[in-house]
Structure 1
């Protein structure tokens, strides 16, 4: 006898939505895990090198001495500067050469951002670096030992090759009618960036058949290069820092293009980690209240720190567009 369909147990209401939710969370957890496994070398590199930017003494062989303001005053002619007094002098000079009159805002105390960096060399081929605090006179002296042997400079280093038709000035002239032709009204002429310019890379061999990697700066027209077989001159921690700062997709493919791709994947993974972490937290009902409090505190702290840091970074600066 066939069973009566009416007597078959029906699925509990809401069972399918719960099943779909469970399947979705399984996908979230798997993505959270496998993306982390895919890019864990990049996350380690960016994390370690990011810490090294704040603590440059780690992994570097050098001596560091703290010098008091009293020692500086006894041994040199330097005396601490008063930022408010200096600001008043600046305003006085500004008013002397301008029809507009400016008054120093006494409610906002003056302050120095950054410090003077003075460098020198030592007898054994090392170098020294002195950082002075302008407002209190304290200083830090760092002495670095000689680095690894520097490869010989190419015979053509610093030579200037004048190819006016293949310089940034030529490109500037050739595209001067581009914006009007595109209908961009009121735009000023396009100018080549004064500090950033592309370079031509190629390899040559000298009379002794030694290969040289050559760079030709298309902005200045100057040549530079290094022997193709020269060993790397960067210490490991310096190499990490350079890798950390390498960004943008190059014009053509290659390992640098792959590097930029994995940098993108790492950034996307961090975003997905944050979002999937929230999803997994929400799934754990006993910890929702504690997690909500932690998230609220984290958002509040981040907002205060980020806004304060942004205010400090942008003080007196007008950000210009650029790549």
Structure 2
């Protein structure tokens, strides 16, 4: 075939499609993206702290777990045959205090009990310390459940006595736990026969021996007040009796709520541990455990979610490293301070 008869290709123009430019995202979505990224990086920054608070909160709520000293719980069965086998109720103690007040002061018209029952006030546990040779023990007694905890306080054994020593070292005292020194007995107070303090002091040596601990001098350092209504003539008073100091105080009228918001929040933060009976505090302890577990889960799951976003791996790794180094450094520094 002649070349003149062959078809001539017709050039075609190349059509270039315009590059797709996505429309700008709405301001609300951009703000949400910033919040998500901020949440992610803040979560990475707080990861060491979340784990720390989760673990320490769990240990705080379970004082016998990984204890650095022998710690045991005792039950009502351990108190059989001791003066605490049947402890006096707040009502019985209040009636004894009122009888002693009438006998001591001999008012024209005898003081009488008001209508409301007596109860423990401010706290509901007794704390005692035991000195046994070179060992000391910390006993918390819960009268409502007739149970409690025995913990040996940690003391260092000195290999050699310092030549300049003038006395015997005492174990560290814990504020708020009855180890800041015993409450002092006040002269002129109201002593009642067979008081719960005497029963605790008599029962603890037997209790310690049943759990394999040596016995020694027992000092009850902390006790709850016993609050009860008193009728002075036609006037209602609210009385408070402390079993240790034996002091009786009172205010006119119904008991006043002295719990401020700040004090309530601080006490709420410090409330921990499972009491011997199922009560509101017991359910609160479950909540503390739940928060501790959730904090740890939140930290670990946050790591997994962060790693799924490739664009944030490097900056997130930097934030995590800086936070871990900071937390570790502060932890070491705090250890040095607390171990002095």
TM-score by length of 2: 0.37
Q: Which has the higher helix share?
A: 1
Task: Please tell me whether Structure 1 or Structure 2 has the larger radius of gyration of its CA atoms.
Answer: 2
TM-score by length of 1: 0.39
